[in-house]
Amino acid sequence: MTVLVGRRRLTRLCYKRSMPKVVDPTERRRELVEAVWRVIRRDGLEQASVRNVAREAGLSMGSLRHYFASQSELMVFAFRTVIDRIEARLTGLAPEPDPRRRVQRTLAELLPLDEERRSENEVWLAFTSGAMADPALRALRDEGYDALRAGCRRMISDLSAAGLAPTDIPAETERLHAMLDGLAVHAAMRPDIHTAESLVAAVAHHLDALAAQRCPRGS
């Protein structure tokens, strides 16, 4: 009887060991996207091949193709993830009644102020460059561009309605959009100079200037 019980236990143990590991497809795609981002940040977009990404993720090329049929599909998903993560953070912001603080907090989510946002910023810029030759990436680039521009317009309209920005909404939208893009590029090129503190200070200075234009001293 003891031998029989022991055999049953051994059989169950061997069965458990032989069972294939259940992989969460969502989690595996997230891991692959992170591998894409690491390769891009370290070696450049041109090195983000299926082979290199699979190696970075510790998978075979066959396993990777189980989730993404082509490199283009993988790149589009990785680019889309940048947009989705930024939108999720903006959507998750708690309500803020003060228009100036509301705009500052939104702008902070769009700038590379920590490691997560620095990673997104560098990957975004790499994909933006790659979009010149890839129609699928170009469509996402344009979508992100349009969304950011629309967001800048909403922020300027918000400030203008509160008397904190000039009433020329199109012109101030252009300026804010250009400032954000410029700060993002500078931070990617020289993070030693354009630190989180300097980026926050630049945003505050711009918002102060907008308010001063609307309500000049001595008026």
CA angle 191, 93, 116 (to 5 degrees): 30
The pLDDT tens digits for 157-198 are 999 999 999 999 999 999 999 999 999 999 999 999 999 999
- Cα torsion through 157, 187, 185, 164, rounded to 10: 10
* DSSP-derived 3-state class of residue 61: helix
Cα–Cα distance for residue pair 168/175, rounded to 1 Å:
11
The pLDDT tens digits for 61-101 are 989 998 998 889 999 999 999 999 999 999 999 999 999 99
CATH class of the domain whose range is 20-69? mainly alpha
Each domain of the chain, given as residue ranges in start order, spans: 20-69, 81-219
CATH topology assigned to domain 81-219: Tetracycline Repressor; domain 2 (1.10.357)
Cα–Cα distance for residue pair 116/98, rounded to 1 Å:
27
The pLDDT tens digits for 121-163 are 999 999 999 999 899 999 999 999 999 999 999 999 999 999 9
pTM: 0.83
Burial label for 79, CB within 10 Å (0-12, 13-18, 19+), is buried
Structural contact between residues 48 and 75, judged by C-beta atoms closer than 8 angstroms: yes
Cα–Cα distance for residue pair 36/50, rounded to 1 Å:
9
